[in-house]
Structure 1
Amino acid sequence: MSLDMNSLPNDVKELKKIIIFQNNKLIDQKQKEVEYQEELRLQRLKESEHLDQIERLKIQLFGRRTEKWSQIEKDQGILFNEIESSVQEDSPEPEEESLFTPVKSHTRKKTGRKPFPDYFPRITILHDIPESEKTCSCGHGLTRIGEESSEKLDIIPAKIQVEVHVRPKYACKKCEGTSDETLPVVKIAPVYNQIAEKSMLSSGFLAYTITQKFADALPFYRQVGILKRSGVEISRSTLSNTAIQVFEKLSPMIEDMRKELFKSKYLQIDETVLQVLNEEGKLNTSKSYMWVIRGLIREKPVVLYHYEPSRSAKFLEDWIGDFGKLSETLSELNVSLPMGRSTDRVSGIIQTDGYESYDSLLKSKLKILHAGCWNHARRKFFEILKIDPNNAGAQWIVKEIGKLYAIESKAKEGKLSSEEHLSLRQSESKLIVGEIFSWMNKRIVEVAPKSSMGKALSYLAGQWPKLLIFLDHPELQLDTNLVENDIRPFVVGRKNWLFSGCPQGATASAGFYSLIQNAKISGIDPYSYLRDLFKSWEKNPRRLSINELPQPVGN
C-alpha cells in the first residue's frame, strides 16, 4: 500500500504498527530473494553437472583413452601428459612457468637399425659378378680386395616334428625266463614320465602352446587353425584340458610363491574383470576377477595372478596373516601411521587404488599401512582437462602432482640411497603436498559435489591419508603403475579369448600368467623357461618349489 503524509495517523502506536508491518514485509521479500537466488544457484549447478556429464559421455564414446597429447596439441597449448613417464621413465622436473615437460639437452644417437643378436645363425648368400667380368681391360685377372655386406632378417615357420619314444624289450632265448620265476620273462624300460600323463603332446610342444596363449595372447582356437594348416589335427579342448593337467604339477610352486610373497613388507594389489563359464551358483554372463599382487621375494620383484569369483578382497584375509612376518619397528621402516593406528610395530604396506573393498579389509589390520595411488588421483583431474582444457584448477593440480614425479625422477637419476631419498621427499615433496592440501580444502567447498571437479576433489580428500604415506617411506612408489602394467598382458589376452571355460581353467590361467610374467621380469624367454622346467620334472618327478621360479639373468 502507498503512504503519504496526509494518510499517516498522528497516533504514535499506529505509526509503530505501520513501521513494523512494512519492516516485516521487507524482510519477507529479502528472504524470498535469498531463496530464489539459492534455487537459481542449485539449478545452475544441476545444469553444469548435466553438461559435464554429457561431455564426459562424449569423451567415452568418441574421445581417445590415452592421457598423452600429440605434439600438435602441445604446440596448440593443450596440457601435456606429465605423469605417464613417471618414475619408471625419466621425467624431468617441469618449469614453473610452463605446463609442458622440458627436455634436457643431450647428444642424439645416430639413427640406424639395431644390429641383430649375435646368437642368431648366419647364412651367407654370395652375390658375385660373372666370371667374364673378373678380367681387367689390360688382360690381368681382378683380385678380390674386400666386400660389402648387409644383414636381412629371415624366419622359418615353427618346425613340427614327431618324437618317437622307443622302449626295447629283452628276453632270454635260452631259458625263456624259466630259470628264475620271480623275475619277468621280458624286460623293458619303465614308462617314461610326462608332465601331462598319457598325452600325445611333448613337453616342448606344451611349453610352446602355453607360451603362445599366455605370453603372446594367441588363444588355443587360433593355434588349432595354425596347426591345421600344417596338417596337424588337434582340438581346442585337448589343448585346454592338457594345460589344466600340466598346471596341477605347477600349483605347489604357485602356492609357495603366494606364501613367500606375503612375507614381503610392501605389496601392490590391483584387479580386473574376467568372465568365467560354469561357475557354481553364478550366471555365465556374470563377472569374476583376476587379482594381481606384486611384491619382493629375496629382493627380487615377483608377480602373482589369482582368480576369484567376486571383486571382494575378503579372500585376502587369510593370506594377510603371513604378510610382513619379517616386520621391523616403525623407526626402522621410517613410516608414520595415519588415523590413530598403533605405532609400536608395522607389518608392512599394501598399496592399492581407491576401491572400497580394500578399505573394508584393511581397516581392522592396525599394523598394516594402506597406501594410495597418486596417479589415480591425478587422473580424475586430467579427465576434466579433456572436457575443459582451460580449467585453471585442473591445470594447476596436474602440474603440482607432476612436480612430485619429477622429484622421483631426480632420485632415480641420482641413484640415491633410502636415507637420501627420504630426505629429498621430506624437504621437497612435503612442501608440494602441503600446497595441494591447502588448495583442496579451499576448492572443495566452492564446487558442486556432483560435478567432475567436485568428484575429483572428493576422491582426493577421501584418499588423502593414504596419499601421505609415501612421504615417510622411501621404498614406496607414488602410484600402482607397476602392478597395473602387470595386468596389461592379461587384458590383451582377454580381448582375444574373451572368457575362461571353467573355474579350473581360470585358476590354471592365473598360474601360467604368474610364471610367464615372472620370466619376463627376470629377462628370461618364457618358452625356454617352461620347456626346461617341464623336461626337468619329467627327468625327476617331484613337488615343484619356489626355488624353481625364474631367476634373473646373471644370477
Structure 2
Amino acid sequence: MSLDPNSLPDDVEKLKRIIIFQNIKLTDQKQKEAEYQEEIRLQKLKESEHLDQIERLKIQLFGRKTEKWSQIEKDQGVLFNEIESSLQEDSSEPEEISLFTPVKNHTRKKTGRKPFPEYFPRITMLHDIPEAEKTCSCGHTLSRIGEEKSEKLDIIPAKIQVEVHVRPKYACKKCEGTSDKSLPVVRIAPVPNQIAEKSMLSSGFLAYTITQKFADALPFYRQAGILQRSGVEISRSTLSNTAIQVFEKLSPMIEDVRRELFKSKYLQIDETVLQVLNEEGKSNSSKSYMWVIRGSIREKPVVLYHYEPSRSAKFLEEWIGDFGKLSETLSELNVSLPMGRSTDRVSGIIQTDGYESYDSLLKSKLKILHAGCWNHARRKFFEILKIDPNNAGAQWIVKEIGKLYAIESKAKEGKLSSEEHLSLRQSESKLIVGEIFSWMNKRIVEVAPKSSMGKALSYLAGQWPKLLIFLDHPELQLDTNLVENDIRLLLSVERTGSSPVVRKELLQVQAFIL
C-alpha cells in the first residue's frame, strides 16, 4: 500500500518511526513469503516422491525384471553427449581415402553337432542290405569297402523292480540246538542296514526320489502320480516322511560340512523369505527365512542352507567363530583393511548385500573383511532407468559399473593368474572406481535425499568401503550372484508345491541341497 506524501508528518522522528514500522512489516512479509515458497517446494518434493513411488510399484507389477540393456537403450546415452562426440570426431586426423573396404578378421565356428560323451555305452545297430543284393550283376560277391556311421541319443525310462531279500534260516535237526545253549537254536543273517528303518523303499529308490525332489524340483505329489501310472501306490506323505528319516541320518554330516565350510577364507551369505506352516509361536502368515552360505572346500564350491524362523543373523555369531581357521596374513591375502582396522592378520572375507544385520554382526570382527555387492548398488540405478529411461546420471553410472564387469570378463576369458588379475584390477578397475567416487560425491549433495536418485546414491555411499575390497583381492567376486543363484535353486524346489512349506520340509532342504 503506497503512502500519500502529503499525509506524511514533517517531524523527522515520526518519519523514522514510520520507516522502521514499514521495514518490519516488509521483513515480516518476506519471511512469510519465504515460508510459503518453502512449503510449496516441500509439497512438490513430496508429490515427486509419491509419483516416483507409484512408478516403482508399476514397474514391479508390470515391468520387465531383467537388468540388461537393449541395444536401443544403450544407444540412448549417445543423445546426451552428441556434442562431445561430434567434437571428438571433428578433432581427429582426416583419414586417407581408400578404394578398398577393410574386412575384419574372424574365426569361423566349427559346424556340426557336438558329439555325445564317450562314457555313454554304445549299442551297435547294424542296418545291412539283403544277402541277395550283395552279388554283383557280373556274378562276383560284393566286398565291404567301408561304412557310414551316425549316432542317436536314446534314453531308457526309469526301471522299477522289486528287491526280494531272502535270509535263509538254519537249525540242527539232530540236537535241536541243545549241544551249545549259548548259541541260538535258529541261525539267520541279520537284517541289512537301511538308511530308513522298516521302510519298504530301497536306498536306491530313496536316492532317486530325493534327487528328483531337490535337484530336479519335482515335488513328491507329482512323483506319487508318476508311480501310480505304473501301478505302484506310494503316497506323498510316505515319500516325505521317509525323506525326513534320511535327513535325520544325514544330520551329523551337515555339522561336519558346516565346520569345514567355515575354514574357507572367502564366504558369500544371503537369505530369502519363506512362508512356513505349523511354526511354534508364529502365525502361518508370518515370515521365516532360509539362510544360504557359500564357500569352498579344497577349491570345490560348497553351499550350506540353514533355516531360521526370523531374519536375525545372531546364529551366525557362533558360526563365524570357526571362520578362517587358516588365519592367513594380510600380505598373503593382498587385502587392505578399510575403516581403521588392524592390518596385522586377516582370517578371511565375507561378502553380503547391504542388509544391516550383517554390518552389526561383522563390525566387531576386526580380522574379517566385510565386502559389498556391486550388483546391488547397480540395481538401484537400474530401477531409476525403468521409471526414467532418459536419466543421464543413472545411465552413466550403470555404464561405468558395466565396465567393471567387462574387465572381469576379460580376466576370465584370458584365464589370468591371481597376480595378473590383481594387476588388471589395480591398473584398470581402480580408475573407474575413482571416477564413480568423484561423481557420487558431487551428485549426492545435489539431489533430494528421498528421491530415487538420492536413495540410490545414499546406498552406494553407505556401501562404499565394502565395495572397494575387490580391488585388493583377485579371488573376490564383484557381486553375490553365485549365492543368489543358490537361492534360486531353493525357490525352484519350494515353488513347485501348491502351498507353504512346513518346518520338517525345510529341514530336508538344508540337508539335501548340499
The answer for the alignment partner of 2:160 in structure 1 is: 160
Is the 1:78–1:389 contact (alpha carbons within 8 Å) kept by the matching residues of 2?
no
Deviations 1:250-275 (A, max 9, x none): 21111011012112222110111223
CA distance in 2, matches of 1:366, 1:195: 44
- Output aligned runs, 1:413-492, within 5 Å: 413-492=413-492
CA distance in 2, matches of 1:498, 1:423: 51
The answer for the alignment partner of 2:95 in structure 1 is: none
Residue 370 in 1 paired to residue 373 in 2? no
Is the 1:274–1:499 contact (alpha carbons within 8 Å) kept by the matching residues of 2?
no
CA distance in 2, matches of 1:437, 1:480: 21
Is the 1:265–1:326 contact (alpha carbons within 8 Å) kept by the matching residues of 2?
yes
CA distance in 1, matches of 2:77, 2:256: 49
Deviations 1:434-481 (A, max 9, x none): 221221122122222222112111111121121122222222211111
Q: CA deviation at 1:417?
A: 3.5
Once the two structures are overlaid, the 10-residue window that deviates more, 384-393 or 108-117, is 108-117
- Output aligned runs, 1:240-259, within 5 Å: 240-259=240-259
TM-score, normalised via structure 1 length: 0.81
Is the 2:55–2:387 contact (alpha carbons within 8 Å) kept by the matching residues of 1?
yes
Structure 1 216/106 Cα, relative in aligned 2: closer, same or farther at 3 Å? farther
The answer for the alignment partner of 2:193 in structure 1 is: 193
Structure 1 251/2 Cα, relative in aligned 2: closer, same or farther at 3 Å? same
The answer for the alignment partner of 2:321 in structure 1 is: 321
**Which of structures 1 and 2 has the bigger CA Rg?**
2
Q: CA deviation at 1:4?
A: 5.7
CA distance in 1, matches of 2:108, 2:54: 45
Letter in 1 for 2:227: L
- Output aligned runs, 1:266-285, within 5 Å: 266-285=266-285
Is the 1:49–1:450 contact (alpha carbons within 8 Å) kept by the matching residues of 2?
yes
- SS of equivalent residue, structure 2 residue 321: helix
Structure 1 132/69 Cα, relative in aligned 2: closer, same or farther at 3 Å? farther
The answer for the alignment partner of 1:46 in structure 2 is: 46
Q: CA deviation at 1:32?
A: 3.4
Once the two structures are overlaid, the 10-residue window that deviates more, 488-497 or 469-478, is 469-478
Is the 2:266–2:348 contact (alpha carbons within 8 Å) kept by the matching residues of 1?
yes
CA distance in 2, matches of 1:271, 1:105: 47
Structure 1 70/159 Cα, relative in aligned 2: closer, same or farther at 3 Å? farther
| Number of equivalenced pairs | 490
Q: CA deviation at 1:232?
A: 0.7
The answer for the alignment partner of 1:94 in structure 2 is: none
Is the 2:77–2:392 contact (alpha carbons within 8 Å) kept by the matching residues of 1?
no
- Output aligned runs, 1:136-535, within 5 Å: 145-497=145-497, 502-514=502-514
CA distance in 2, matches of 1:484, 1:176: 68
- SS of equivalent residue, structure 1 residue 271: strand
Deviations 1:375-423 (A, max 9, x none): 0000110111111111100001111111222222233334334344333
Structure 1 410/122 Cα, relative in aligned 2: closer, same or farther at 3 Å? closer
CA distance in 1, matches of 2:197, 2:321: 36
Is the 2:218–2:496 contact (alpha carbons within 8 Å) kept by the matching residues of 1?
yes
Structure 1 18/314 Cα, relative in aligned 2: closer, same or farther at 3 Å? same
- SS of equivalent residue, structure 1 residue 378: helix
- SS of equivalent residue, structure 2 residue 67: coil
TM-score, normalised via structure 2 length: 0.87
Q: CA deviation at 1:5?
A: 5.2
Structure 1 447/108 Cα, relative in aligned 2: closer, same or farther at 3 Å? farther
- Output aligned runs, 1:84-99, within 5 Å: none
Residue 30 in 1 paired to residue 30 in 2? yes
Letter in 2 for 1:368: I
- SS of equivalent residue, structure 2 residue 314: helix
Q: CA deviation at 1:140?
A: 6.9
CA distance in 2, matches of 1:105, 1:490: 45
Aligned-residue CA RMSD (Å): 2.7
CA distance in 1, matches of 2:118, 2:331: 50
Q: CA deviation at 1:75?
A: 7.7
Structure 1 118/334 Cα, relative in aligned 2: closer, same or farther at 3 Å? closer
Structure 1 454/333 Cα, relative in aligned 2: closer, same or farther at 3 Å? same
Q: CA deviation at 1:366?
A: 2.5
CA distance in 1, matches of 2:407, 2:9: 80
Once the two structures are overlaid, the 10-residue window that deviates more, 466-475 or 172-181, is 172-181
Is the 1:278–1:501 contact (alpha carbons within 8 Å) kept by the matching residues of 2?
no
Q: CA deviation at 1:360?
A: 2.1
Q: CA deviation at 1:114?
A: 2.1
Is the 1:362–1:370 contact (alpha carbons within 8 Å) kept by the matching residues of 2?
yes
The answer for the alignment partner of 1:541 in structure 2 is: none
Deviations 1:217-271 (A, max 9, x none): 0011110000000011111111111111112222111101101211222211011
Once the two structures are overlaid, the 10-residue window that deviates more, 14-23 or 404-413, is 14-23
- SS of equivalent residue, structure 1 residue 322: coil
Structure 1 78/244 Cα, relative in aligned 2: closer, same or farther at 3 Å? farther
Structure 1 121/326 Cα, relative in aligned 2: closer, same or farther at 3 Å? closer
- SS of equivalent residue, structure 2 residue 389: coil
Letter in 1 for 2:362: L
- SS of equivalent residue, structure 1 residue 426: helix
The answer for the alignment partner of 2:99 in structure 1 is: none
Is the 1:500–1:506 contact (alpha carbons within 8 Å) kept by the matching residues of 2?
no
Structure 1 254/378 Cα, relative in aligned 2: closer, same or farther at 3 Å? same
Q: CA deviation at 1:356?
A: 1.3
Structure 1 211/50 Cα, relative in aligned 2: closer, same or farther at 3 Å? same
Is the 2:260–2:297 contact (alpha carbons within 8 Å) kept by the matching residues of 1?
yes
CA distance in 1, matches of 2:180, 2:27: 122
CA distance in 2, matches of 1:106, 1:195: 57
Deviations 1:153-202 (A, max 9, x none): 33222110011111122223333333323222222111111111111111
Higher relative contact order (CA 8 A, sep 6+): 1
Is the 1:314–1:361 contact (alpha carbons within 8 Å) kept by the matching residues of 2?
yes
Structure 1 308/443 Cα, relative in aligned 2: closer, same or farther at 3 Å? same
The answer for the alignment partner of 2:110 in structure 1 is: 110
CA distance in 1, matches of 2:282, 2:499: 14
Is the 1:276–1:288 contact (alpha carbons within 8 Å) kept by the matching residues of 2?
yes
Q: CA deviation at 1:74?
A: 5.0
Q: CA deviation at 1:36?
A: 3.1
- SS of equivalent residue, structure 2 residue 276: coil
Once the two structures are overlaid, the 10-residue window that deviates more, 213-222 or 142-151, is 142-151
Structure 1 78/493 Cα, relative in aligned 2: closer, same or farther at 3 Å? farther
CA distance in 2, matches of 1:131, 1:172: 65
CA distance in 2, matches of 1:54, 1:261: 43
CA distance in 1, matches of 2:146, 2:299: 52
Q: CA deviation at 1:108?
A: 4.0
CA distance in 2, matches of 1:189, 1:179: 21
Is the 1:275–1:498 contact (alpha carbons within 8 Å) kept by the matching residues of 2?
no
Letter in 1 for 2:280: E
Letter in 2 for 1:475: E
Once the two structures are overlaid, the 10-residue window that deviates more, 45-54 or 338-347, is 338-347
Deviations 1:315-350 (A, max 9, x none): 111111111222123333332322333333322221
Residue 120 in 1 paired to residue 120 in 2? yes
